[in-house]
Structure 1
Amino acid sequence: MLQETRLHRIRSLISTHHQVSTERIINELGVSRETARRDIIALEQQGVARRVHGGIVAIDAPAEPPLPVRYAAREKEKRSIARCATEQLHSGQTIFLDSGSTTTLLARELRTMSGLTIITNSLQAALVLTATEENDHQLQHEVILLGGSMSAGTQQTHGGITVNEIHRYQADVALLSPVGVDALTGASSFSLAEAAIAGAMARQAKQLFLLADHSKLGVTSRYCYAEPADIGLLISDSAAAQHYAWPSLSQTFSQVICA
């Protein structure tokens, strides 16, 4: 068994059980103690888990950094992903956009198109999409900003009102930017409120497209909102092709693209 396959199986065990003994790894994977030890060290170096006496324990997923920090991180890669996403769309479609740095960059790229109906809970995306030039007051798209609650420092609506509003619509495509995407656990978010929004959008769309730079691959955050079988397309950046999780993601999802 290849090491990447073993590591993927161990990550699945950690995700399910939080703590996994060396003996369990040996028995379930059919490997030697030395091989199990090397795999545990590899996972610790990847930041997935921490070695403890007799096994390995999950490292709690970190909270997402503030939105301005997320905008600055890997902006070039996110722009490539956003441009690729626009190439998968066409005029006349209705789409969902959730709130995130990648989907806000996508909103900017969507200004090169026209004729979409765009439903979003992101204030930033809505502002980008509705900005007009000095002598041009005609919008290129119909933009629907979902109502709901807002929390301090956020630029998005959330809560029961938002989820209920999502259920009023049927979209062609949901374009979502998860905190993590994994071949076994699917798409996930750190925030329960954000996962509820993303999950509702995914269920109310005919197709689900995930926009995730390579840092999010192979990651399972706190709340999963979409099963692997429900993910129609994963778009990542060019570095994804060298990521340890890419082979399993490519085999699991219907379509994957390195932008």
Structure 2
Amino acid sequence: MLVEERYRRIRALLKAHGTVSVDHMTEALGVSRETIRRDLVELDTAGEIRRVHGGAMFVESELPISVRAGIRVKEKRALARGALGHIGSGQTLFIDAGTTTAILADALASLSGLHIVTNSVAVANELAGERAAKSGGHAVHLLGGAFNASVGATYGGAAIAEVHRFHADIALLSPVGVDAVHGATSFVQEEAEMADAMSRNAKQTLILADYSKIGVRSRVVSCPVERISAIVTNSRAAKSADAQALAEAVRAIEYV
């Protein structure tokens, strides 16, 4: 069994039962206790589960953005490089808030002539900063609205109303998960509403999802499958059943 398939099944067991013993997971997956323990260490380190004595438990809430910023950084940088191949000078881009899109902003700072519309303070700051200016600069519009300090982003009716004033070439979104049935999903409704508005007002929607998000369904749909133009994910996910299902449901998947 491929490692990503084991991770998917472990997540599913924990989501269904809350807390599951190592013995139960060993029997359900048909692998050794040592394999399960290694998988749990990896998933715990990534912040997706919590190990407890004799097993593991499902994480009920999304990790703080300060913690998520330090997880799978190498993989997120690869996604950012992959996204650059879809972006051309002079385009208008919607970019939502998140640790992946913050890394994307760092990559975009080396380009010039883009019009950026974002609800993320980190994205706006990076793309309006000195490094971007040295490359020719971008026009950056930070959406107004209710400010969420824990995420460093604006949300709510005022911010969404502003989104509808723009027509973007591409919406670049980084959800909590993406699967073949529900599309892109988010943990928090206000984040899902922002991503939905951006997607609806863009010609194309590009989903940036590292390998751990493939096949994952969170609480609220932020962009249904039919509106996803392409998904950029890590090559580590290529052989998983979830990625294969997504390849049949969306227009394109790019592995980086």
In structure 1, the residue corresponding to 2:147 is in which secondary structure? Answer: coil
Aligned-partner Cα distance in 2 for 1:242–1:71: 26
Of 138-147 and 193-202, deviating more is 138-147
Cα deviation per residue 1:138-172 (whole Å; 9 max; x = unaligned)? 85110100001113422000111111110111101
Task: Kindly indicate whether residue 239 of structure 2 is the aligned counterpart of residue 230 of structure 1.
Answer: no
Name the residue aligned to 1:191.
188
Is the contact made by 2:178 and 2:214 (CA closer than 8 Å) also made in structure 1? Answer: yes
Decide which of 62, 69, 79 is 1:71's aligned counterpart: 69
Aligned-partner Cα distance in 2 for 1:61–1:223: 17
> Where do residues 67-146 of structure 1 align in structure 2 (5 Å cutoff)?
67-132=65-130, 140-146=137-143
Task: Kindly indicate whether residue 200 of structure 2 is the aligned counterpart of residue 213 of structure 1.
Answer: no
Name the residue aligned to 2:52.
none
Q: CA deviation at 1:241?
A: 1.0
Normalised to the residue count of structure 1, the TM-score between the two structures is 0.76
1:223–1:61 CA distance, 2 compared to 1 (3 A) = farther
In structure 2, the residue corresponding to 1:115 is in which secondary structure? Answer: coil
Cα deviation per residue 1:81-136 (whole Å; 9 max; x = unaligned)? 00110111100110100000010100000012111101000001111111115xx6
Is the contact made by 1:61 and 1:190 (CA closer than 8 Å) also made in structure 2? Answer: no
Task: Kindly indicate whether residue 242 of structure 2 is the aligned counterpart of residue 245 of structure 1.
Answer: yes
Question: Which ranges of 4 or more aligned residues in structure 1 deviate by more than 3 Å?
Answer: 59-62, 136-139
Percent identical residues? 40
Name the residue aligned to 1:163.
160
Normalised to the residue count of structure 2, the TM-score between the two structures is 0.77
> Where do residues 23-38 of structure 1 align in structure 2 (5 Å cutoff)?
none
1:138–1:91 CA distance, 2 compared to 1 (3 A) = closer
Of 146-155 and 78-87, deviating more is 146-155
- Matched positions, count: 219
Cα deviation per residue 1:63-95 (whole Å; 9 max; x = unaligned)? 221112111100000000001101111001101
Aligned-partner Cα distance in 2 for 1:174–1:159: 18
1:72–1:99 CA distance, 2 compared to 1 (3 A) = same
Which amino acid letter does the alignment assign opposite residue 249 of structure 1? Answer: L
Aligned-partner Cα distance in 2 for 1:201–1:258: 24
Which structure 1 residue ranges, 5 or more long, are not aligned? 20-37, 48-58
Is the contact made by 1:130 and 1:139 (CA closer than 8 Å) also made in structure 2? Answer: no
Name the residue aligned to 2:169.
172
Which amino acid letter does the alignment assign opposite residue 207 of structure 2? Answer: L
Aligned-partner Cα distance in 2 for 1:226–1:111: 26
Aligned-partner Cα distance in 2 for 1:121–1:102: 14
Cα deviation per residue 1:37-62 (whole Å; 9 max; x = unaligned)? x9x934xx899xxxxxxxxxxx9773
Which amino acid letter does the alignment assign opposite residue 127 of structure 2? Answer: L
Q: CA deviation at 1:137?
A: 7.0
Aligned-partner Cα distance in 1 for 2:217–2:86: 26
Aligned-partner Cα distance in 2 for 1:194–1:216: 16
1:82–1:41 CA distance, 2 compared to 1 (3 A) = same
